Structure 1
Amino acid sequence: MNQLRCLIIDDKPLAIDILADHAGKIPFLQLVGTTTNPIEGLQMVREQNIDLVFLDIQMPELTGLQFIKIAGKQCKIILTTAYAEYALDGYEHDVVDYLLKPIPFERFYRAAEKALHVIVPGSRAATPVVPQAEPSPEFLFIKTEHRIQKVDLKDIRFIEGLQNYIAITTSNGKILSLQTLKKLEEQLPDKEFVRVHKSFIVALRHISSIERGRINIGDQMLPVGDRYRDRFYRMVEKI
């Protein structure tokens, strides 16, 4: 079987771990390396005969789109990002595929298979054995100022980012934690919680109504940011 030598570039180590785990399940992908530094990634492309790069877009020092311009046609690219608005830019640069985080294994496999057909025309990939999804967690442990608090996910109504800490509004009150909204977002099941604004994550189960770009949860009205609007409404339509 033809193998594609691939590289993962993302400034988030957790994102790299997830993609590397996906790549390790696919027989026709040979993961040559990973890096959080896109400049180091360029050097690896030039020196290690890389066929395919899984590339984040928003990175310090060098963005994914800048990386593509410099790398030219040395390798094929699959973009991985949390932001849908870059899709058109990606396809204008002739990327193989565009994956929105969080990326499920099945979607990752389809993108890799597409890359295989592009790089090695006429090749056929074996049917993957799709692993059974792990059950979603039912609770989280949240570190507060004085203790570690167990929080049932079903009780979380929404989460607000407040500079260096977050406020978790639950059915039983509010919990403050010294962590970032982004860090907590990575721990939440993406089928139950959705980022709707740079400062808010909401629990879909607790939404009472949506009106004029605002979400009603209990007695709170929360805004929907332009960046997050399309993904939020797509999730609502699937329910």
Structure 2
Amino acid sequence: MIRCIAIDDEPLALDIIENYISKLPELKLEGRYTNPLEALDVLNKNTVDLLFLDIQMSELSGIQLLKALPNPPVVIFTTAYQKYALEGYELDVADYLLKPIPFERFLKAVNKVKDLLSLQRNTTDQNPLKDYIFVKSDYQLVKINLDDIIYIEGLKDYVKIFAGTKPIFAHQNMKSIESKLTNDFLRIHKSYIISLKKIEAVQKNMVRIAGLELPVGEMYKEQLFKIINENS
């Protein structure tokens, strides 16, 4: 069962989404909201799988609401304005539905979400000794081998994963990506997680990795040097 919330400041638009959801037994509508601030409070206190989110709303835009969520669910944008498609792409939403929304197009978007959620759940259920993770990037789940990861940088609404020749941008926060990693990784700063295997040198306030000098935050020093001393 996919638990859904729909947010749109137009009640008629919500009626259409609710009607479409009722036709699909795998979807369950947990709530519908015309007030995005009320919906934001609900989302911060409860977990859902899928959010149908209008973009242009009076009190808070859908884009602003999505950026305010520290660990957002899968999102399908619904809007009457095609100009927002690019920003939706940059926010890594699952799909973008242009109003008026045909049921066939709605169904296609839901099927895409089902595939994403299925893959996410399979990844979560893996053995803790996993050697890879999946991250959501550019409308897809990308597999990354843990041994390829050099370090991860936090960038407000994204993390930037340096693995291989090209960095990967994933729409999630540092706490979320950190929970997926093994003990071979360590957070050394509010903005950096490193692979312990890739460390080249360590100083009091710096770690050199892949030829780069990354800062070590005060609150992370003790754990870092404990690991270093245990292996000296």
TM-score (normalizing by structure 1): 0.49
Report what 1:28 is aligned to.
26
CA distance in 2, matches of 1:98, 1:72: 21
> How far off its partner does 1:14 sit?
0.3
Question: 2:66, 2:72 within 8 Å by CA — same for their partners in 1?
Answer: no
CA distance in 1, matches of 2:17, 2:58: 20
> How far off its partner does 1:43 sit?
1.6
> How far off its partner does 1:54 sit?
0.3
Say yes or no: does 1:57 pair with 2:55. yes
Say yes or no: does 1:120 pair with 2:123. no
Report what 1:106 is aligned to.
104
Name the aligned partner's letter for residue 14 of structure 2: I
Question: 1:44, 1:50 within 8 Å by CA — same for their partners in 2?
Answer: no
CA distance in 1, matches of 2:49, 2:43: 8
Q: 1:118 to 1:112 in 2, by over 3 A?
A: same
Say yes or no: does 1:69 pair with 2:105. no
CA distance in 1, matches of 2:118, 2:36: 26
CA distance in 2, matches of 1:11, 1:122: 30
Name the aligned partner's letter for residue 109 of structure 2: A
Q: 1:40 to 1:117 in 2, by over 3 A?
A: same
Aligned pairs for 1:223-234 within 5 A: none
> How far off its partner does 1:122 sit?
8.3
Match of 2:96, SS state, is: strand
TM-score (normalizing by structure 2): 0.50
Name the aligned partner's letter for residue 27 of structure 2: L
Name the aligned partner's letter for residue 79 of structure 1: F
Report what 2:81 is aligned to.
83
Match of 1:108, SS state, is: helix
Question: 1:45, 1:75 within 8 Å by CA — same for their partners in 2?
Answer: no
Report what 1:198 is aligned to.
none
Aligned pairs for 1:183-202 within 5 A: none
Out of 31, 40, 43, the residue aligned to residue 41 of structure 2 is 43
Report what 1:190 is aligned to.
none
Out of 9, 17, 40, the residue aligned to residue 15 of structure 2 is 17
CA distances 1:82-128 after superposition (whole Å, capped 9, x unpaired): 000000000100000000000011110111111111122189xxxxx
Match of 2:107, SS state, is: helix
> How far off its partner does 1:71 sit?
1.2
> How far off its partner does 1:50 sit?
1.1
Gaps of 5+ in 1: 124-239
CA distance in 2, matches of 1:26, 1:45: 23
CA distance in 2, matches of 1:109, 1:76: 15
CA distances 1:153-184 after superposition (whole Å, capped 9, x unpaired): xxxxxxxxxxxxxxxxxxxxxxxxxxxxxxxx
Give the share of equivalent positions with the same residue, in percent: 50
